[in-house]
Structure 1
């Protein structure tokens, strides 16, 4: 585990779980909380199951998608496989934030979020290493692709596995075929670099009949930087780390894109998704997998004639996309029913459920099942003829340890990118960003008396 500023992390919720900072949890023993329960049955695959009727609470700390998702991917398959478990689902909303639930003595057994937010549970003493429990219950972790597991472990900088991935994420470049046809420009291809896409964008970016058509989005600059394994704060030390060649390269590439004639967005650091999906004035949008979150816009009735190709790579780093950002189910350390909670995780990561999210929604599975990975969107009529393999062609960038200050630091970086775009020297912009990040971190620590 990396070296941590323990006072800061414990105060703001950013490090490894407080109780687990100095030593890895011992394997639970049969009959103990977290150990093999009394009165169990063993499934064909070896997974040991506690069949005692129990009610669990699952907290969605981020959206799980459309309302029917929880029924199709959690409740119905859970009832079919483990009918002794009743699951109460609570969604994050005003009056029902995690802090509210904990104050009411209703700390959930399971939390759903993405790996980048896992650190927020550290100071609440909710992080729980699943690996010893998986070993005791003979839960097979070998069926997962190592990459999303590595991303989860890297988030907190240790070897602990504080959650299991529900989906892996994935990145690609969506493009508007009608705009390329309109201007007689060849479609982009798999395997292109940012430089090559910029050259294509020059041919598509133009103004006709008073309407501006933009060729390429740079997305937010911090997402681009993740392709170079760049985060704003070193998670091991909680010190700013932006005066690097990687951040400089991301800043300069994003500026090159936004500086193309007719390609400047109304607002810098814009994801480009509205321009692509709604306005239909953006030709190429390299971004994360938004097929299921924006399904209504990709449907033919929206009138968007689209396809996708591989996410662009930086020259010298072929076939490397951004870091994986898997969505994660965590079992809380305070749960009195960890064995039963593990059965819920068994359901949501089962081949049956994973087949549904892959085939019906085009989501990337975290399972190491090559055949399943090739079935992206195959049950969706309008996805069958799309270049869905584009999501599979890139390797994720090397994951790095997160910091609790990443989000606030990215706000500073985006502002400094705007100043750089408007004429400030890149080295000055990054130096000032680093100085402001240090001041911001100190201010946050001071606010909590550290």
Structure 2
């Protein structure tokens, strides 16, 4: 898989999470959405093995734990095999599949029971098939200290429980913080100081204005937030405000009533109002321009330099800065979301599976993952994150600690799964080209979203 394709896969997975879990990121892609079930819930249940009593397992009892993982044997070996060193009695085995409805039903029909499921397509299919084993009892039984995880991350996981009970449905696989990657060459060309301190969004707008101009026959742009300034990362400022776009219980669309949404659109109107900031070429808008070295700043994930740029020579003059904030006391990053590692309700080895999860979250294992550029969910452990990217050439000498400078906000108490049908990210290109006022645009987007939600509700009946 080449770097660009791999990055797009990672984007799809994380965009799904933030669209459904953090309410503000509207970058939910069709790739990441769980398809509607092809059978009724009753039929699905009949295709699922019956839960077994959890056997009593000793610490040294040999056991094989099967992990459903969708990205192939090489990535699996790199990210999971090290757990066997921490748990000598455990053998890890790959189930190469996806946590989506059809693949899960096929595994159930074949009586293949993964003990742990990497739910990178969200929890919809696992809910439908009743395959989630909440971890609360196991956490208490094995005395796992949730304080090892950041409060925002724990709150985000609890908010994903559709029952409203705030159960821990899985453990986090990764936390990829947002920040700025900037190009020193572009700043130098325009005679502007590097953004070493944390900026406000208004300050970012002013910098973007100064660097959006033509120099030596090249059109420079001061800021990029997703391809064409109209997808994916473009919703990061809204996600920082940690609001639901819809009522989590009824699906009512709230974007015309939520002040945070209007505030976000006002910011974007300022950005889109910078002459030349949006590339008029439709083809150019399909991909990132930052690797072409004609963009001053890009708001993206910490991993972007690896998967979006890749070439250490191209990245030589690129550096990191903290994520901008709204200011006036609102100094948070988006709530700390993550895809989850879920224990299968039908596993016969729940205790051993839980030990595998805790080994995955151990500082020892997380440090090794951080070295290869996997952003650790133990981001409140400064020693772990200090090792981020040290075995990856493109990160050498970069101030990656800047990505962890802004602490994440707490999410809404209950995350609305209906938010995925309010495609703010997908609507921003239209907004950037429209002369509609914000209130009118939000009314139109609300009507479009209501139609999608109504259809989704019909499919769930």
Q: TM-score, normalised on structure 2? A: 0.77
Q: Distance in 1 between matches of 2:333 and 2:287?
A: 18
Alignment of 1:18-167 (within 5 A): 33-34=53-54, 37-41=55-59, 51-60=60-69, 63=71, 68-78=74-84, 81-92=87-98, 97-114=103-120, 117-156=122-161, 157-167=164-174
Q: CA deviation at 1:92?
A: 3.0
Structure 1: runs of 5 or more not aligned = 1-10, 19-31, 42-50
Q: CA deviation at 1:121?
A: 2.2
Q: Distance in 2 between matches of 1:362 and 1:52?
A: 31
Q: Distance in 2 between matches of 1:274 and 1:191?
A: 23
Q: Distance in 2 between matches of 1:273 and 1:110?
A: 35
Count of residue pairs the alignment pairs up: 404
Alignment of 1:272-351 (within 5 A): 274-277=288-291, 279-291=292-304, 294=307, 297-351=309-363
Distance 1:267-1:368 versus aligned 2 partners, 3 A rule = same
Q: CA deviation at 1:380?
A: 4.4
2:193 to 178, 186, 207: 186
Indicate the larger mover: 217-226 or 120-129.
Answer: 217-226
Distance 1:82-1:408 versus aligned 2 partners, 3 A rule = farther
Q: Distance in 2 between matches of 1:152 and 1:80?
A: 26
Contact kept in structure 2, 1:126 and 1:332, CA below 8 Å: yes
Partner of 1:352: 364
Distance 1:158-1:224 versus aligned 2 partners, 3 A rule = farther
Alignment of 1:235-246 (within 5 A): 235-243=248-256, 244-246=258-260
Aligned alpha-carbon RMSD (Å): 3.3
Partner of 1:370: 382
Matched, 1:439 2:455: no
- Provide, for residues 200-233 of structure 1, a one-character-per-residue CA deviation record: whole Å limited to 9, x for no partner: 1111111234432110124434333111113332
- Provide, for residues 20-59 of structure 1, a one-character-per-residue CA deviation record: whole Å limited to 9, x for no partner: xxxxxxxxxxxx835xx43513xxxxxxxxx433333312
Contact kept in structure 2, 1:58 and 1:111, CA below 8 Å: yes
Contact kept in structure 1, 2:99 and 2:119, CA below 8 Å: no
Distance 1:175-1:113 versus aligned 2 partners, 3 A rule = farther
- Provide, for residues 317-354 of structure 1, a one-character-per-residue CA deviation record: whole Å limited to 9, x for no partner: 44312222223211121222211211221221122111
Higher RCO (CA-CA < 8 Å; seq separation 6+) = 2
SS at 1:300's partner residue?
coil
Contact kept in structure 2, 1:176 and 1:282, CA below 8 Å: yes
Distance 1:179-1:300 versus aligned 2 partners, 3 A rule = same
Q: Distance in 1 between matches of 2:296 and 2:303?
A: 16
Q: Distance in 1 between matches of 2:61 and 2:305?
A: 36
Partner of 2:440: 428
2:421 to 404, 408, 412: 408
Q: Distance in 1 between matches of 2:180 and 2:242?
A: 19
SS at 2:288's partner residue?
helix
Distance 1:362-1:101 versus aligned 2 partners, 3 A rule = closer
Distance 1:271-1:370 versus aligned 2 partners, 3 A rule = farther
Contact kept in structure 2, 1:291 and 1:362, CA below 8 Å: no
Q: CA deviation at 1:444?
A: 1.9
Q: CA deviation at 1:150?
A: 1.5
Q: Distance in 1 between matches of 2:101 and 2:458?
A: 28
Q: Distance in 1 between matches of 2:427 and 2:392?
A: 40
SS at 1:117's partner residue?
coil
Contact kept in structure 2, 1:54 and 1:84, CA below 8 Å: yes
Contact kept in structure 1, 2:160 and 2:166, CA below 8 Å: no
SS at 1:196's partner residue?
helix
Partner of 1:249: 263
- Provide, for residues 255-274 of structure 1, a one-character-per-residue CA deviation record: whole Å limited to 9, x for no partner: 32132122113589x99972
Q: Distance in 2 between matches of 1:178 and 1:290?
A: 21
SS at 2:82's partner residue?
helix
Q: CA deviation at 1:151?
A: 1.4
- Provide, for residues 344-374 of structure 1, a one-character-per-residue CA deviation record: whole Å limited to 9, x for no partner: 2122112211111223316234264333334
SS at 1:249's partner residue?
helix
